[in-house]
Amino acid sequence: MVIRTQPLTADAFAPYGDVLDCAGTPDKMINEGLCGRFHDRAALDFEDGRAGVSLFQAQPRDLPYELTLLERHPQGSQAFIPMSFDPFLVIVAQDLGNKPGEVAAFLTAQGQAINFHKGTWHGVLTPLHAPGLFAVVDRIGDGANLEEFRLEHPVMIERG
Ligand SMILES: NC(=O)N[C@@H](O)C(=O)O
Ligand code: NI
């Protein structure tokens, strides 16, 4: 199966999570009017745990990208916040209860970050450019907060 990437928008991504960016007017101007605050833009959720901030240095991938693995975090949300200005690949899938359904792939615009809602099926962090450096905000806690699903048939993701 082949799918094509689509541009990341808040509406298109809404079933899966939040898009964080500085589009439009800031929610508030702070720091003596020298900084726009786009306030509280991600639905963070950490069941029986706490929020953690980690840094990921991930190997860049290429398009077309062969997707063979999806995962989800049943106890917590997970935010990918790039520390570069490069677009990255965001892969999600519908939930069919105990397995993922239809896959969707998004290309971020410069300056966009994402937050997967708790339980959203997703591909692992997938940079397309070096250095692949991201801040990740996700759940720190006990328990199995990682469920993986190996696809029976790989999905090829091509640039839209
Ligand atoms: N496992 C881990 O820390 N990262 C994955 O959850 C991922 O989505 O990249
Ligand atoms: Ni994850």
Residue of the CA atom closest to atom 2 of ligand 1: 124
Residue of the CA atom closest to atom 7 of ligand 1: 124
Å from CA of 72 to ligand 2 middle: 6
Which positions of the chain have pLDDT values less than 50? none
C-alpha 119, offset from chain centre: 12
Q: Are 63 and 159 in contact (CB under 8 A)?
A: yes
Rg (CA), the chain: 16
pTM value is: 0.97
Nearest 10 degrees: CA dihedral of 49, 53, 58, 60? 110
State pLDDT tens for residues 111-123: 999 999 999 999 9
Residue of the CA atom closest to atom 6 of ligand 1: 124
* Residues with C-beta atoms within 5 A of ion ligand 2: 78
Helices (H), 5-111: 10-13
The CATH homologous superfamily of the domain defined by 2-158: Ureidoglycolate hydrolase (2.60.120.480)
